[in-house]
A and B are shown apart, each in its own frame.
Chain A
Amino acid sequence: MSVTGKYFLNSRKGAITQQYPDNRDTLKMFERFRGEVIMPHDENNEHACTGCQKCEIACPNGTIEIIWDRGIDEYSGKKKKKIDKFVYHLSLCTMCGLCIDVCPTDAIEWGQNFENSVYDRTKLTRVLNKPGSKLRPGIED
């Protein structure tokens, strides 16, 4: 009883409850937290994905599907593989991190968003590259 009594008296200070929806503004996840896979784009709407499909092979669950095409690269003038859509099925993802581990150009990384619940299942299938985005020049795999 002495132990519980001590905690009762210190209850105001010791509460370990996270008042979750209220502390959204101050709640910050750790930088390595594996929430979802994102593909960062720079200010010119360019990403670093060359469409090499290593992530697609590394993924144990078929979470990533890359729809790709071959086209003329504007900078080098050579014919090159480029991604049309980088499809990411969040509903299949187990957050194992193998795709990010294997990516040679660091085109994809972890996002810290953990509020993944949606009302419609189709919203979990995401296209990670933004419309009209291009491969950042100078990136080779």
Chain B
Amino acid sequence: MVLNISNSLREWLSTMMPETTAHILEMVIIALIYLGIFSIAGLFLVLMERRVAAWFQLRIGPNRVGYQGLLQTIADALKLVSKELTGTERADKFLYNLAPYFVIISSLMALGLIPFTENFQAFDINIGIFFLIAISSIGVIGILLGGWASNNKYSLIGAMRSGVQTISYELSVGLSLLTMIVLTGSLQLSEIVEVQKNGWLIVQGHIPAIIAFMIFIIAGTAETNRAPFDMVEAESELGAGFHTEYSGMKFAYFFLAEFINMFIIAAIATTVFFGAWLSPFGITESLPWLGIFWFLLKTLALVFLMMWFRWTFPRLRVDQLLTLEWKYLLPINLVNIVIMAWVVWQNLTIQI
């Protein structure tokens, strides 16, 4: 759909200006569209988190600004924009200012790969999954920079924890996705979706796929630094962790990036395990534009699951966090890959 629009856009642009300029302009326009959509979407994710948390906690949640509080986070964003940008005195100014952009850009870049419908995908690269993992781990550099440059001990502890955590859990995210790639035989996201027309991968791969999914969602929660793995912020231990010294819009970038990252993790899980925009049992196969609905439904269900984790479980301690990864998730993952390979070799997959 969007691809069609972008094709017509490209034709229209190339009638007016040289090929290269048109190409660049087209990219810029698409980038701006994505930026617009997802900063708004991020704000609504924040709202969703707040409402969901409120319902878990016997509260009502924001319900004043707009109908049922729909405009609440927009108002918050406006407030954050208008706030003064404070900083610590002996902070490394350059890195300090750079950090939020690292975080937000890396998370927005990852969005470009996600196949919302058959056509609504900005960038269908043939190493899709690999690219996603690579991009989403750049974000941690921003966190490290922010924590280091703030010249605050709490921030520094938070940043170091973040580094340790992300590097460890990156392995699990990668390996659990690798398990599924054994099944699909391709890294390209559109092909992964294509394979799933014979049944979602979590069904096709049955037991090893379910294990891989569980590992992915645990490691993914850890990757986004959300409770129960929110060692980085650890409100009751470190104040606000790495973004203690940030205010105004810079803080908002960190905050928004957290939610967009959560959306990305859920979107990857949807794509790889739950058939992306494919409807269950092909009930709306004749209406391809409904793909976006199915995609968002599945993604938001996973996002909700992650929120449920967050508002239920206590936080792990930093050494337990590492024990969980290195002593449990990683060996299980490695065994799981072998099982998956055996399943694929013996043709034990379930095809609908």
Q: Is B130 an interface residue when CB atoms closer than 8 A count as contact?
A: no
Q: Is B284 an interface residue when CB atoms closer than 8 A count as contact?
A: no
Q: Which residues of B contact A3 (CB under 8 A)?
A: 312
Q: Which residues of A contact B60 (CB under 8 A)?
A: 15, 17, 19
Are B56 and A15 in contact (CB-based, < 8 A)?
no
Among the listed B52, B59, B309, B311, which residue makes an inter-chain contact with A15, where contact means beta carbons less than 8 Å apart? B59
Given A15-B60, A17-B60, A19-B60, A7 and B308 touching (CB < 8 A)? no
Q: Is B37 an interface residue when CB atoms closer than 8 A count as contact?
A: no
Interface membership of chain A positions 1-45, coded 1 if the CB is closer than 8 angstroms to chain B and 0 otherwise: 101110110010011110100000000000000000000000000
Are A11 and B58 in contact (CB-based, < 8 A)?
yes
Q: Is B12 an interface residue when CB atoms closer than 8 A count as contact?
A: no
Name the residue among B52, B55, B309, B312 with the largest chain A CB count within 10 angstroms.
B55
Q: Which residues of B contact A1 (CB under 8 A)?
A: 308-309, 312
* Minimum distance in angstroms from B222 CB to a CB of chain A: 18
* Minimum distance in angstroms from A20 CB to a CB of chain B: 12
Q: Which residues of A contact B58 (CB under 8 A)?
A: 7, 11, 14-17
Name the residue among B52, B56, B309 with the largest chain A CB count within 10 angstroms.
B56
* Minimum distance in angstroms from A87 CB to a CB of chain B: 40
Number of A-B contacts (CB under 8 A): 32
Size of A's binding interface in residues, CB under 8 A: 12
Q: Which residues of B contact A8 (CB under 8 A)?
A: 52, 55-56, 308
* Minimum distance in angstroms from A22 CB to a CB of chain B: 10
Closest residue to B309 on the A side, CB-wise?
A1
Q: Which residues of A contact B308 (CB under 8 A)?
A: 1, 4-5, 8
Cα–Cα distance between A1 and B310 once the two chains are bound (Å): 10
Q: Which residues of B contact A17 (CB under 8 A)?
A: 58-60
28 contacts between A and B (CB under 8 A): A1-B309, A1-B312, A3-B312, A4-B56, A4-B308, A4-B311, A4-B312, A5-B308, A7-B57, A7-B58, A8-B52, A8-B55, A8-B56, A8-B308, A11-B54, A11-B55, A11-B56, A11-B58, A14-B58, A15-B54, A15-B58, A15-B59, A15-B60, A16-B59, A17-B58, A17-B59, A17-B60, A19-B60
Q: Residues of B at under 8 Å CB distance from A?
A: 52, 54-60, 308-309, 311-312
Given contacts A7-B55, A11-B58, 17 further A-B contacts (CB under 8 A): A1-B312, A4-B311, A4-B312, A7-B56, A7-B58, A8-B308, A11-B54, A11-B55, A15-B54, A15-B58, A15-B59, A15-B60, A16-B58, A16-B59, A17-B59, A17-B60, A19-B60
